[in-house]
Structure 1
Amino acid sequence: MTPDIIPPESDAAKAILQVDMLKQLSLAEQQRHALQHELDTLKERFRYLHQATQDAVWEWDLLKNVGWYGDGLHQLFGYTPETLGDGIQFWYNSIHPSDKDRVLNGIHAVIDSGEKNWRDRYRFKRADDSYAWVLDRGYVIHDAAGVAVKMIGSMQDVTVEIEAKEALRESEEKFRGAFDQLAVGISIADPSGNFLSVNKAYPNIFGYSEAELTSKKISDLSHPDELEGDRRIIQDLLSGRQQMVAREKRYIHQSGKIIWGRVFGTVIYDAYGKPKYIVGVLEDITEQRQVVQALRANEERLRLVIDAAKIGTWNYDPLTGIVMWDDRCKAMFGMRPEDPIDYAEFLLRVHPEDRERADRANQNAIKGLDNGEYDLEYRTIGKYDQKIRWVRAKGRSYKDETGTTVLYTGTTIDITEEKERTQKLQEQEERFRLLATSIPQIVWTTDEHGIVDYMSEKWVQYTGHVPTYEKFSFRTLMHPDDLERVIPAWNECMRKGITFRMEYRLRNIHTNEYRWFDCTTAPLMGQQGKVVKWIGSATDVHDQKMVELHLEQKVAERTKELVQSNQQLEKSNAELEQYAYVTSHDLKEPLRKIRTYSNLITTKFHSQLAPDVQHYFTKIESASFRMTALIDDLLKYSQLSTTETPFIEVDMNEIVARIAAEFDDTLKQKEITIDVAPLPTLQAIPIHLHQLFLNLFSNAIKFSKQDIPNNITITSSLLSAEEKNSYPSLTNAGDHYKIQFKDNGIGFSQQYAEQVFNIFQRLHNRKDFEGHGIGLALCRKIVHNHHGVISVTSEEQKGATFTIILPSGQ
Structure 2
Amino acid sequence: MDVPNHFFEVFNTDNQSDFLNGFLEAIPSFVYLLNLTDKKAVYLNAKTEIVANYSPEELLTTDLSVFPIENFSSSEHLFQYLQKTFEDVAINGSQSFILKIVSKSGKNITINNKCTLIKKDASNQPSMLLVLADDITIENELLEKTKQVQNQSNETERLFNYGSWEWKVNNDYVIWSNGLFEIFGYDQAAYESSQMPYGTYQKHIPEEDVQRVRELSLNAIKEKKTIYEYEHEIIDLKGNRKQIAVRGRCFLDDKGEVMRVIGTSQDITEIKQIKGELETKVEELSVAYEELKKNKDLFKEAEALMSYGSFEWDVNKDEIQWSDGLKKLYSGSDISRLPVKINIEFYYARVHDDDIANVKKVIQEAAEQKQPYAFEHKIVDLDGVEKYVQTKGWVSSDEAGKVLKFIGNTVEVTELKAYEKELERKLEELNHSNQELEQFAYVASHDLKEPLRKITAFGDRLNQKYKQQLDDDASFYLTRMIDSANRMEVLMENLLSYSRLSRKLVAFEQVDLNKTLENVLSDLELKVGETNAQIHVGTMPTLEASAPKMQQLFQNLISNALKFVKANHSPNIWVDAKEATKAELSKLGLDYKNKRYYKITVKDSGIGFEPEYAERIFVIFQRLHGRSEFEGTGLGLAICKKIVENHQGIIYAESELGAGATFIMYLPIRQA
TM interval, shorter chain, is 0.3 to 0.5
**TM-score normalised to the size of structure 1?**
0.35
Greater relative CO (CA pairs within 8 A, separation 6+): 2
**TM-score normalised to the size of structure 2?**
0.42
